[in-house]
């Protein structure tokens, strides 16, 4: 008699795996594959021409440049906010904690309209900056504020569980050995927060690159100046330039995927340490 195959510890593994692969294939992989198939109809020369026009290059520089800058700001201020929410008790802490999730809860169009109303030349803050020649709405600074707004919760919510599980006894031990607060943070606390910080920042960057609703109202949408790539894709679709829109979509997918691979590679090389 032949040997019996050992039964899987997880019941229904084969069936659940089949449903998972089918779901991912139909919802994620198949639509993305169709984007590349549609873009390939242009040929290499057509693809190169579609993604190398001055308008497209300006939109790519603006989108990825401001997304990267927004991630750096969210990295710093997200860490500060998470630290305050976990380590301190003060009146209104619950309200502040709940307000962090506002970008998740409200429609992005509402966020864009609200930010535009505040930072427009006749808005509450915009009117104060106007006499100094500072323009926020309908300019790159407005786009940056919108990207920071929608990306901040990713960093805060990723760091909070790590900070809550962190043992304060490690900080006390470092202090008893003569370490300053800055040395304790840099050598004891930050190495354990770094993986979560990189993960949250990566999620914020991915959200910022593809953001449309909150940016389109405050950007001004001037070609070559304040036009982002998602808006340019919508514009091409409205002009029935489906091939050009899919070419830009394929470019965004390739760049985003390459950046995520690079970030994951750096995270494994620099943050993963062997256990003893």
Domain definitions of the chain by residue range = 53-271
Q: The pTM is what?
A: 0.84
In percent, the amount of the chain with pLDDT more than 90 equals: 28
42-57: per-residue pLDDT in tens? 777 878 888 888 999 9
What CATH number does domain 53-271 carry, 1.20.1290.10, 3.40.190.10, 1.20.1270.360, 1.10.3720.10? Answer: 1.10.3720.10
Query: Could you identify the residue written with the tokens 């050009």?
Result: 244
CB 67 within 8 A of CB 208: yes
CA distance 233 to 247: 9
Taken in order 32, 37, 41, 43, the sign of the CA dihedral is positive
175-230: per-residue pLDDT in tens? 888 888 888 888 888 988 888 898 888 889 888 988 988 899 898 888 888 999 99
CA distance 89 to 24: 43
Query: Could you identify the residue written with the tokens 């202090």?
Result: 175
CA distance 82 to 136: 27
């Amino acid at each position: 008699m032949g040997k019996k195959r050992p039964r899987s510890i997880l019941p229904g593994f084969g069936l659940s795996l089949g449903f998972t692969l089918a779901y991912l294939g139909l919802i994620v992989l198949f639509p993305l594959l169709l984007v590349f198939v549609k873009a390939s109809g242009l040929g290499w020369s057509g693809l190169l021409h579609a993604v190398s026009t001055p308008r497209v290059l300006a939109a790519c520089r603006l989108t990825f440049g401001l997304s990267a800058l927004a991630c750096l700001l969210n990295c710093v201020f997200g860490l500060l906010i998470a630290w305050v929410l976990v380590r301190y008790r003060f009146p209104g802490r619950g309200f502040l904690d709940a307000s962090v999730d506002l970008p998740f809860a409200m429609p992005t169009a509402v966020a864009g309209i609200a930010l535009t109303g505040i930072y427009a030349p006749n808005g509450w803050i915009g009117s104060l900056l106007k006499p100094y020649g500072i323009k926020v709405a309908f300019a790159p600074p407005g786009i940056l504020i919108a990207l920071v707004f929608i990306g901040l919760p990713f960093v805060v919510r990723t760091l909070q569980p790590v900070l809550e599980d962190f043992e304060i006894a490690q900080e006390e031990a470092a202090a008893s050995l003569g370490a300053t607060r800055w040395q304790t943070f840099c050598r004891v606390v930050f190495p354990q927060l770094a993986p979560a910080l990189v993960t949250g920042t990566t999620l914020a960057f991915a959200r910022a690159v593809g953001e449309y609703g909150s940016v389109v109202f405050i950007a001004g949408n001037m070609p070559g100046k304040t036009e982002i790539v998602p808006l340019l894709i919508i514009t091409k679709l409205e002009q029935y330039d489906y091939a050009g829109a899919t070419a830009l979509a394929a470019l965004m997918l390739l760049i985003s995927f390459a950046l995520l691979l690079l970030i994951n590679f750096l995270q494994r090389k620099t943050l993963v340490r062997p256990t003893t």
